[in-house]
Amino acid sequence: MSGSTRQTRYEEFSDYVERRGPALLRMAQSLTGNHADAEDLLQAALVKTFFAWERIASPNARDGYVRRAMVNTQISEWRRRRLDVYPTDEIPEQRVDDPTWRTDLADAVGRAVDRLPRRQRMTVLLRYYEDMSEAEIAAALGVSVGTVKSTVSRAVAKLRHDADLTIERART
């Protein structure tokens, strides 16, 4: 392999990580439950992906490869941790965090986004869930960047208004 091919592969991989990293980090965080472990998980998956980069035939398959690497790595971590747990007659006192608030919040946000008009919902999902730039969204939807900006602005304002109404109802 020549030096220029290796450099091109590195640059291509770096561009991919820069573009898709935030979305992949959100998935890693959903697997691990916290930001620090998610960063470690994503880094481990990206290392595996880098070494397999030339074997990934389609650019559309890259996200799937990274996601599969994250899932496999996390499963291995869960198995490794399970071996560190030993049975005992005494149960130590531990504060148990109730994680249901995350599910409740995700459900509320999902329902609020679902209530948005179609174009607003699409722009919000592309902007905040897929972490696409305004220019990328404009190209994907065939509209101007200004249209994307105003659509996202109106959608976020509606989501804030709906959240305020929900909070107000909960107080009464």
The contacts of residue 123 (CB under 8 Å, 6+ apart) are 137, 141, 148, 151, 152, 155
Q: What is the mean pLDDT of residues 124-128?
A: 91
The domain made up of 3-82 is a member of CATH 2.60.120:
no
- Delimit the domains of the chain by residue range: 3-82, 111-171
Q: What pLDDT does 2 receive?
A: 47
Q: What is the mean pLDDT of residues 75-102?
A: 72
Q: What pLDDT does 158 receive?
A: 94
> Which one is predicted more confidently, 112 or 2?
112
Q: What pLDDT does 86 receive?
A: 66
**Confidence grade of residue 98 (pLDDT, cut at 50, 70, 90):** confident
Q: Of the CATH numbers 3.40.50.720, 2.40.50.1070, 2.40.50.140, 1.10.10.10, which one belongs to the domain with range 111-171?
A: 1.10.10.10
Specify the long-range contacts of residues 63-68, CB closer than 8 Å, at least 24 apart.
63/20, 63/23, 63/24, 66/20, 66/24, 66/42, 67/24, 67/27
Is residue 70 within 8 A of residue 31, CB to CB? The reply is: yes
Q: What is the mean pLDDT of residues 17-39?
A: 90
Q: What pLDDT does 42 receive?
A: 94
* Phi, psi at 143, each rounded to 5°: -130, 175
Distance of alpha carbon 64 from alpha carbon 21, whole angstroms: 13
Mean pLDDT of the chain: 85
Return the H-helix or E-strand segment holding 125: none
